[in-house]
Amino acid sequence: MPIFEYRCSGCAVEFELLVRAATVPSCPECDSQDLNKLLSAPSVRSGHALPMASDCPPPEAGPCRPGCCRL
């Protein structure tokens, strides 16, 4: 069951909701069903570390630059 993010067209509140197959979502503030589904980044969990790209600086060098994969 995915969690979706919505913005209510009636009161502009943003919220997340666990949506089941037969669920018709409604705003928790005003109970409106006039909602816009928002685009959100998926959450991915892994038990493994991501490999560093060859052009990434070592961790002690500070923050990554654009194009680096180190999180």
What are the residue boundaries of the structural domains of the chain, listed by start?
1-40
pLDDT score recorded for residue 64: 65
- Could you please report the per-residue DSSP string of 14-41? EEEEE--TT-----TTT----EEEPP-P
Per CATH, domain 1-40 is 2.20.28: yes
Buried b (16+ CB within 10 A) or exposed e, 48-61: eeeeeeeeeeeeee
How far is Cα 6 from Cα 15, in angstroms, rounded to an integer?
5
Question: pLDDT 10s per residue in the chain (71 long)?
Answer: 578 899 999 999 999 988 887 888 999 999 999 999 998 766 666 555 555 555 566 667 666 666 565 54
Cβ neighbours of 2 (radius 10 Å)? 8
